[in-house]
């Protein structure tokens, strides 16, 4: 799974990197070195024929949901079953996105230790990761905007799949990371060929990823700052 990641690249740089329109000023987010579920995250998606970078709620809320809290359980979507699950098959066919990240955390079991070792994973070249994702719009029947229309919640989920050899040493799942040459096909809302789209959901090459142990300070979501991704000694129960 992917339950924590880093979003520190400035939005204007992200927009340029992904060839997207930058978000409005009121939609900008601060640097976050400990992004957690239900927080706002940057998302690249297409709307009205335009590629945009905007902020979405992390935790997908299906359009049919009665309560948006259902999104708390939908921060990740298994790539192997997207076309089968009621929550994901519609956005898989029509509403795919990319969720940018500077890196992500996973926790590794350490032989002889009760504590798990947090590990930070990022691209070897320092460029942003492009997590494959899905997005949806949920209309709140209990709240309306100034025009009298239901308030809308834009939400997203990160797609996970089998790990590559390097990540497999830490965890049995990893986010699907899309290379630049498939972004157009993935984001194209007129592309409904879920069979071919599913073939894009493969592990990123091991040589793309570098990883190292970091402090257990990352375990607490209230901790934030660039020091969280600095290499740290291995954990100990002492």
Q: d(Cα 13, Cα 22) in Å, to the nearest integer?
A: 9
5-229: CATH architecture: Alpha-Beta Complex (3.90)
Percent of the chain with pLDDT over 70: 98
Residue reference for tokens 């809302």: 189
* 149 has a pLDDT exceeding 80: no
Q: Is the pLDDT of residue 143 over 80?
A: no
Cβ proximity of 23 and 77 under 8 Å: no
Q: How confident is the model at residue 151 (pLDDT cuts 50, 70, 90)?
A: confident
- Give residue 237's pLDDT: 66
207 alpha-carbon distance from chain centroid: 21
Run of H or E residues at 91: helix 89-94
- Biggest CA pair distance of the chain: 61
Q: What is the pLDDT of residue 114?
A: 87
Tokens of 225: 């700052």
47-100 pLDDT, tens per residue? 999 999 999 999 999 999 999 999 999 999 999 999 999 999 999 999 999 999
Which among 2, 46, 97, 156 is annotated as catalytic?
2
Question: Over the chain, what is the mean pLDDT?
Answer: 95
Q: In whole angstroms, how far apart are CA 66 and each of 40, 91, 95, 141? A: 21, 18, 20, 9
pLDDT of residue 39 exceeding 80, the answer is: yes
Active-site residue, selected from the candidate residues 97, 106, 136, 156: 106
- pTM comes to 0.96
Question: Is 230 assigned a catalytic role?
Answer: no
Residue 106 annotated as catalytic: yes
């Amino acid at each position: 799974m992917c339950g924590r990641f880093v979003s520190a690249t400035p939005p204007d740089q992200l927009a340029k990197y992904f060839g997207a329109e930058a978000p409005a000023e009121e939609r900008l987010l601060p640097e976050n070195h400990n992004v957690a579920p239900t927080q706002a995250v940057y998302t690249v998606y297409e709307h009205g024929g335009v590629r945009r970078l905007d902020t979405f709620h992390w935790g997908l809320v299906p359009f049919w949901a009665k309560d948006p809290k259902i999104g708390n359980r939908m921060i990740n979507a298994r790539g192997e079953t997207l076309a089968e699950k009621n929550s994901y098959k519609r956005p898989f066919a029509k509403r795919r996105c990319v969720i940018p990240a500077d890196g992500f955390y996973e926790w590794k079991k350490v032989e002889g230790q009760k504590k798990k070792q947090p590990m930070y994973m990022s691209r070897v070249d320092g460029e942003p990761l492009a997590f494959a994702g899905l997005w949806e719009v949920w209309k709140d029947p209990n709240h309306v905007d100034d025009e009298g229309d239901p308030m809308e919640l834009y939400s997203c989920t990160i797609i996970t799949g089998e790990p590559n050899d390097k990540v497999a040493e830490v965890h049995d799942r990893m986010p699907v990371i899309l290379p630049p040459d498939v972004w157009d096909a993935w984001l194209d809302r007129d592309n409904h060929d879920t069979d071919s789209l599913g073939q894009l959901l493969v592990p990123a090459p091991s040589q793309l990823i570098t990883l190292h142990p970091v402090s257990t300070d990352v375990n607490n979501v209230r901790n934030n700052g660039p020091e969280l991704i600095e290499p740290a000694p291995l954990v100990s129960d002492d």
